[in-house]
């Protein structure tokens, strides 16, 4: 079924996220379209969603591969009131919100992987992309991109060993609208609490409890360099604490592969 605004907004149960939904059968990129709207003062909570993206992207400019009409591909405009230095933690809040929604709908365990992937049985089922617009010393808006592999039956050979879907993991097809509605409800609930308290303590606790890589040996690519070490923690700023030899270094970004 094509995702349409009429279907999505019925019984949504939110007050901000999804109060305006712009739905496309096909679009180049929901992130780019949402950003263009935000730059024209589109209100917080607007959702841009598509059945297919011809130029969908993940982190580091990678292409997000998704079969038409099978998955959830959306971007949300948010305008946080939290301090600028905590903007990066929104991706952790988003990961927990999406993970909890998937677990509720599909009854399957979801793990987090730093900095913004969600895994089932060690393979990626969802990715989160966050792009912020910073004006002077404050944040103007954030575009939150969320992709969830829902009913895709197979993936290209270059990623088939690393990607999965809810269908592959459970053998069941899912109503994408029902999952989308649950994601938006979960996101809004967590976001409204944080926007009032600025306290990410509980979110980071939940994220670490779900994290599949802490305590494991990893390979990390950062600034073009490959670093091998043990992932020991993620701090209150969202930085990965990586033990390399006898030292522990703090990293704000990177691409992680779990070795063992």
Average pLDDT estimate for 178-204: 95
What per-residue confidence (pLDDT) applies to 22?
Answer: 94
232 and 205 share one domain:
no
The whole-number average pLDDT for the span 98-117 is 96
> Which has the closest alpha carbon to 49: 64, 65, 71?
71
| Residue 191, SS3 per DSSP | helix
The answer to whether residues 225 and 188 belong to one domain is no
Q: How many domains does the chain have?
A: 2
Domain that holds residue 16: 5-210
Q: Are residues 253 and 186 in the same domain?
A: no
pLDDT in tens, 239-256: 999 999 999 999 998 889
Provide the CATH number for the domain around residue 193. Answer: 3.30.930.10
211/196 Cα distance (integer angstroms): 26
**Do 26 and 141 share a domain, yes or no?**
yes
User: Rounded CA gap, 38 and 44, in Å?
Assistant: 8
Q: Are residues 60 and 172 in the same domain?
A: yes
Q: How confident is the model at residue 73 (pLDDT cuts 50, 70, 90)?
A: very high
Supply the pTM of this predicted model.
Answer: 0.92
Same domain, 140 and 245: no
Q: What is the pLDDT of residues 21-65, one digit of tens each?
A: 999 999 999 999 999 999 999 999 999 999 999 876 554 455 556
Instruction: Kindly give the interhelix angle for 90-106 and 201-210, rounded to the nearest 10 degrees.
Output: 50
| Closest to 184 in 3D by CA, of 10, 1, 53 | 10
Whether residue 134 sits in one domain with residue 249: no
172 and 198 housed in the same domain: yes
The answer on 125 and 71 residing in a single domain is yes
Instruction: Please name which of 75, 41, 107, 24 lies closest in space to residue 184, comparing C-alpha atoms.
Output: 75
Q: What CATH number should be reported for the domain holding residue 236?
A: 2.30.30.100
**Selection from 51, 97, 103, 64 nearest residue 200 by Cα:** 97
Task: Based on the fold, state whether residues 35 and 101 are members of the same structural domain.
Answer: yes
d(CA 75, CA 85): 22
C-alpha closest to that of 25 among 75, 69, 74, 70: 69
Please indicate, yes or no, whether residues 154 and 240 belong to a single structural domain of this protein: no
Whether residue 153 is found in the same domain as residue 233: no
């Amino acid at each position: 079924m094509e995702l349409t605004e009429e279907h999505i907004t019925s019984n949504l149960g939110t007050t901000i996220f999804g109060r305006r939904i712009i739905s496309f059968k096909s679009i180049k990129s929901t992130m780019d379209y949402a950003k263009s709207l935000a730059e024209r003062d589109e209100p917080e909570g607007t959702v841009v969603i598509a059945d297919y993206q011809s130029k969908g992207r993940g982190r580091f400019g990678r292409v997000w591969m998704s079969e038409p009409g099978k998955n959830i591909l959306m971007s949300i405009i948010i305008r946080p009131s939290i301090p600028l230095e905590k903007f990066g933690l929104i991706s952790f809040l988003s990961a927990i919100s999406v993970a909890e929604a998937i677990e509720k709908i599909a009854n399957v365990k979801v793990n987090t992987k730093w900095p913004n992937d969600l895994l089932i049985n060690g393979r990626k089922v969802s990715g989160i992309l966050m792009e912020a617009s910073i004006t002077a010393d404050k944040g103007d808006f954030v575009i939150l991109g969320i992709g969830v592999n829902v009913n895709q039956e197979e993936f290209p050979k270059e990623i088939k060993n690393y990607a999965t879907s809810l269908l592959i993991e459970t053998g069941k097809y899912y109503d994408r609208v029902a999952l989308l509605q649950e994601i938006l409800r979960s996101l809004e609930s967590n976001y409204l609490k944080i926007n009032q308290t600025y306290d990410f303590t509980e979110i980071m606790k939940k994220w670490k409890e779900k994290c599949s890589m802490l305590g494991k040996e990893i390979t990390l690519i950062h600034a073009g360099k490959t670093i091998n070490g043990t992932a020991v923690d993620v701090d209150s700023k969202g930085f990965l604490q990586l033990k390399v030899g006898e030292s522990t270094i703090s990293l704000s970004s990177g691409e992680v592969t779990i070795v063992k």
